[in-house]
């Protein structure tokens, strides 16, 4: 197997399923050694086994991204196995849905801990390693188009993702001198467990999403993986950018689809 990431090592947090799993598989298909990750060793190991079955190389590591020690151990295990780190994808995320006026502070905190602090801890642990190595690297944070929009009953999620966007810009500026490129991907609606959870709670249908999206469909996890690999490649002069991949959801005002 050979490809664009030959000889490189990539960590993808939250890669037991959904977008993260597709990202991990895409890096492996392009030649990278990949570290799969989940809160469960078994789920990370299943994702790693799928990569190995397809001819790639993968190491499963159990990590809770909301725990900075656990995230530091993830990077240590990666370097111990593969000798170095090149790409960190901070993808793990959760949501808790409910009216702001009734939001339990513990629920608020949990989403912030995973979706915002987890991205900081992952960036910090990776940044330390990349700075020590001295030859640059890439960090890609998986945000959301909801980082720059208001979606009712998602106050901690939208706040966390907005924080990820500006954390991304800040780290890009701070670590540019180390040639560490820091970017974010802001997906629109992609069919995964998170969107199933939202759909159940909010009562919208697939057809509602398809009608609201100019491209007329959900995005795929493979399309999100293509975007992450573009941002991780460092052959594009892009850093501090939030790339929105939403099928036209954000720019769409009304009536521009000809229907």
Ligand X SMILES: NC(=O)c1ccc[n+]([C@@H]2O[C@H](COP(=O)([O-])OP(=O)(O)OC[C@H]3O[C@@H](n4cnc5c(N)ncnc54)[C@H](OP(=O)(O)O)[C@@H]3O)[C@@H](O)[C@H]2O)c1
| 247 is a contact residue toward ligand X (CB under 6 A) | no
Q: Given the residues 157, 189, 204, 252, select the one marked as catalytic.
A: 157
CB 77 within 8 A of CB 64: no
| 158 is a contact residue toward ligand X (CB under 6 A) | no
Pure H helices in the chain: 18-29, 41-53, 68-82, 105-112, 118-133, 155-175, 193-202, 206-212, 221-232
Q: What tokens does 239 get?
A: 């850093």
Placement of tokens 């159990």 in the chain: 62
Identify residues 104-123 at the interface with ligand X (CB under 6 A).
114
Q: Which is nearer to ligand X, 132 or 206 (CB)?
A: 206
Stretch that binds ligand X, among 51-59, 60-68, 101-109, 237-245 (CB under 6 A): 60-68
| 40 is a contact residue toward ligand X (CB under 6 A) | yes
Q: Which is nearer to ligand X, 91 or 129 (CB)?
A: 91
Q: Which of 193, 216, 217, 226 binds ligand X (CB under 6 A)?
A: 193
| CA 257 to each of CA 22, 31, 231, 253: distance values in angstroms, whole numbers, following the listed order | 30, 40, 29, 10
CB neighbour list of residue 123: distance below 8 Å, 6 or more residues apart: 88, 90, 139, 141, 167, 171, 182
- Whole-angstrom Cα distance, residue 104 to residue 112? 13
Q: Which of 33, 66, 129, 168 binds ligand X (CB under 6 A)?
A: 66
| 244 is a contact residue toward ligand X (CB under 6 A) | no
| 65 is a contact residue toward ligand X (CB under 6 A) | yes
Q: Which is nearer to ligand X, 1 or 166 (CB)?
A: 166
Q: Which of 8, 10, 11, 20 binds ligand X (CB under 6 A)?
A: 20
| 192 is a contact residue toward ligand X (CB under 6 A) | yes
Q: Which of 3, 4, 39, 159 binds ligand X (CB under 6 A)?
A: 39
DSSP state of 48: H
CB 13 within 8 A of CB 91: yes
Q: Which of 8, 117, 123, 144 binds ligand X (CB under 6 A)?
A: 144
Q: What tokens does 203 get?
A: 């009562």
Q: Which of 27, 32, 34, 64 binds ligand X (CB under 6 A)?
A: 64
Q: What tokens does 192 get?
A: 């995964």
Placement of tokens 């995005």 in the chain: 219
- Residue 41 falls in the annotated catalytic set: no
Number of residues that bind ligand X (CB under 6 A): 31
| 194 is a contact residue toward ligand X (CB under 6 A) | yes
- Whole-angstrom Cα distance, residue 36 to residue 47? 7
- Whole-angstrom Cα distance, residue 117 to residue 11? 17
Q: Which residues bind ligand X (CB under 6 A)?
A: 13-20, 37-40, 43, 63-66, 91-94, 114, 142, 144, 187, 189-190, 192-195
Among all residues, which ones are annotated catalytic? 157
């Amino acid at each position: 197997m050979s490809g664009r990431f030959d000889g490189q090592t990539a960590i993808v947090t939250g890669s037991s399923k959904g977008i993260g799993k597709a990202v991990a598989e895409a890096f492996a298909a392009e030649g990278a050694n990949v570290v799969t990750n989940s809160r469960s060793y078994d789920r990370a190991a299943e994702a790693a086994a799928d990569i190995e079955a397809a001819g790639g190389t993968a190491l499963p590591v159990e990590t809770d991204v909301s725990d900075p020690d656990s995230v530091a151990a993830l990077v240590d295990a990666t370097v111990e196995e593969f000798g170095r780190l090149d790409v960190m994808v901070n993808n793990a995320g959760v949501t808790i849905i409910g009216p702001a006026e009734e939001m339990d502070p513990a629920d608020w905190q949990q989403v912030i801990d995973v979706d915002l602090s987890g991205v900081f801890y992952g960036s910090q642990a990776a940044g330390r390693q990349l700075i020590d190595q001295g030859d640059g690297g890439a960090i890609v944070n998986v945000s959301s188009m909801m980082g720059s929009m208001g979606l009712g009953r998602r106050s901690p999620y939208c706040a966390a993702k907005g924080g990820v966007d500006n954390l991304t810009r800040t780290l890009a500026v701070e670590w540019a001198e180390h040639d560490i490129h820091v970017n974010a991907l802001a997906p629109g609606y992609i069919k995964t467990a998170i969107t199933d959870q939202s759909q159940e709670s909010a009562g919208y249908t697939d057809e509602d999403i398809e009608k609201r999206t100019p491209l007329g469909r959900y995005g795929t996890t493979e399309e999100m993986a293509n975007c992450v690999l573009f941002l991780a490649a460092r052959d594009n002069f892009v850093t501090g950018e939030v790339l929105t991949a939403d099928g036209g959801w954000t720019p769409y005002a009304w009536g521009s689809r000809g229907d």
